[in-house]
């Protein structure tokens, strides 16, 4: 108690100097004050205990400036989709028992919801006979895919990040989508973006010149 009271006295002394003072000097003085306090009379400590108040009121000290709250951390920028909405149709999600439901043909499982993808083929026609695929099988393909190709070898098209997001946002699948799955899709989008044709008709993956396909970012 005596140490705290003497320290407050010394702090008030420095506050009232009205001129700058080195921090190292203040620190040395406060340390010395703490060491010397037990050697002095305990009158101040007795007064504090009797009055239930410090011998120097808080009002004699300058108000402590409260720093403004730190700005909220900016959310990481969303990875845009390299997207060509003419290259696919919105995927269809079916539950067990729905009309058109077969099974998860990739895993031979007829107890889970499935997704039907529809992609444009090289000849311009829409490939509508993809094997139906379940959520876990789709995520497995997303995890391992390096070139963005569709999981159906007969398709020859890309598996676009935007259509994956559309499928996973369906009321049937959304409750089963985990944070880990969203992270994997984010990595897939980053890899997929590298396939976007650059100015001059080149991609980061291929060095041969080719015609640039019209695309947009969503």
- DSSP class per residue in 165-194: HHHHTSTTTGGG--HHHHHHHHHHHHHHHT
77 occurs within a structural domain: no
Asked if 55 and 116 sit in the same domain, the reply is: no
124 occurs within a structural domain: yes
Q: Report the domain count for the chain.
A: 2
96, 110, 93, 193 alpha-carbon torsion, rounded to 10° = 160
d(CA 180, CA 168): 13
Asked if 55 and 88 sit in the same domain, the reply is: no
210 occurs within a structural domain: no
Asked if 114 and 145 sit in the same domain, the reply is: yes
Asked if 34 and 86 sit in the same domain, the reply is: no
Asked if 7 and 108 sit in the same domain, the reply is: no
Asked if 105 and 141 sit in the same domain, the reply is: yes
Asked if 27 and 98 sit in the same domain, the reply is: no
Asked if 148 and 183 sit in the same domain, the reply is: yes
Asked if residue 206 has pLDDT above 50, the reply is no
Asked if 89 and 151 sit in the same domain, the reply is: yes
pLDDT band, very low/low/confident/very high, at 78 (cuts 50, 70, 90) = low
d(CA 150, CA 163): 12
> Exposed (0-12), middle (13-18) or buried (19+): which is 60, by Cβ within 10 Å?
exposed
Q: Do 98 and 92 touch, CB atoms closer than 8 A?
A: no
Looking at residue 54, its pLDDT comes to: 66
Asked if 138 and 182 sit in the same domain, the reply is: yes
Give percent above pLDDT 70 in the chain. 70
17 occurs within a structural domain: yes
Asked if 172 and 91 sit in the same domain, the reply is: yes
104 occurs within a structural domain: yes
76 occurs within a structural domain: no
Asked if residue 56 has pLDDT above 60, the reply is yes
- Residues 33-49: what's their mean pLDDT? 67
Give the domain extent around 99.
82-197
Looking at residue 1, its pLDDT comes to: 63
From residue 156, alpha-carbon distances to 60, 165, 166 in Å are 80, 20, 21
Asked if residue 149 has pLDDT above 80, the reply is yes
From residue 183, alpha-carbon distances to 16, 19, 78, 142 in Å are 58, 56, 12, 11
211 occurs within a structural domain: no
User: Mean pLDDT over all residues of the chain?
Assistant: 78
Asked if residue 16 has pLDDT above 80, the reply is no
Report the predicted TM-score, pTM, of the whole model to 2 decimal places: 0.55
pLDDT band, very low/low/confident/very high, at 210 (cuts 50, 70, 90) = very low
Asked if residue 77 has pLDDT above 70, the reply is no
Phi, psi for residue 159 in degrees, rounded to 5:
-100, 100
Taking the CA atoms of the chain, what radius of gyration do you get in angstroms? Answer: 35
- Residues 47-62: what's their mean pLDDT? 68
Asked if 26 and 87 sit in the same domain, the reply is: no
Q: Please enumerate in sequence order all residues whose Cβ is within 8 A of that of 154, keeping only pairs 6 or more positions apart, or say none.
A: 127, 129
Give percent above pLDDT 90 in the chain. 29
């Amino acid at each position: 108690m005596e140490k705290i009271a003497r320290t407050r006295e010394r702090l008030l002394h420095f506050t009232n100097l009205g001129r700058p003072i080195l921090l190292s000097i203040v620190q040395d003085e406060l340390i010395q004050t703490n060491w010397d306090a037990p050697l002095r009379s305990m009158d101040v400590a007795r007064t504090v205990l009797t009055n239930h108040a410090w011998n120097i009121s808080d009002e004699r000290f300058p108000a402590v400036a409260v720093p403004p709250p730190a700005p909220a951390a900016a959310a990481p920028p969303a990875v845009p989709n390299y997207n060509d909405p003419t290259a696919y149709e919105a995927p269809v999600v079916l539950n067990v028992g729905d009309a058109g439901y077969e099974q998860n043909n990739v895993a031979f499982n007829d107890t889970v919801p499935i997704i039907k993808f529809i992609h444009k083929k090289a000849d311009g026609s829409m490939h509508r006979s993809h094997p139906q695929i379940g959520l876990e099988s789709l995520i497995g393909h997303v995890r391992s895919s390096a070139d963005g190709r569709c999981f159906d070898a007969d398709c020859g098209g890309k598996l676009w990040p935007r259509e994956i997001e559309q499928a996973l946002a369906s009321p049937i699948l959304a409750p089963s989508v985990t944070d880990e799955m969203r992270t994997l899709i984010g990595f897939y989008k980053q890899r997929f973006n590298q396939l976007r044709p650059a100015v001059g008709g080149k991609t980061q993956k291929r060095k041969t010149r080719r015609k640039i396909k019209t695309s947009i970012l969503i």
